[in-house]
Amino acid sequence: MARRTLKGGLIGLIAGVVLATGPSSPALAEEPPPIRIGWTPWSSAEAVINIARLVLEDRMGYEVEPVMTNIGVQY
């Protein structure tokens, strides 16, 4: 019986800690910075960046910031 009480107490303690430090914690409540994706002003690159942006924003919930860059820097 004592073992069940100890196990139940530990589960309660862990649940309490998780609830106390959950989403209200400032470290967890901060939004991550946007994902920055480099792209070049080529029509083929624009198509790829727009598809990636749609998937990341609409399907996965991330914020995306496309950054135009020189081809030498990107590759």
* pLDDT tens digits for range 23-75: 554 555 688 899 998 888 888 888 888 999 999 999 999 999 999 888 777 77
Question: Amino acid letter at 38?
Answer: G
b/e sequence 47-69, b meaning 16+ C-beta within 10 Å:
eebeeebeebeeeeeeebebeee
Q: What is the pLDDT of residue 28?
A: 59
Is the model more confident about 56 or about 18? 56
Q: What is the pLDDT of residue 73?
A: 74
Q: What is the pLDDT of residue 27?
A: 55
End-to-end CA distance of the chain: 65
Question: Does the pLDDT at position 15 exceed 80?
Answer: no
Q: Which helix (H) or strand (E) holds 6?
A: helix 2-20
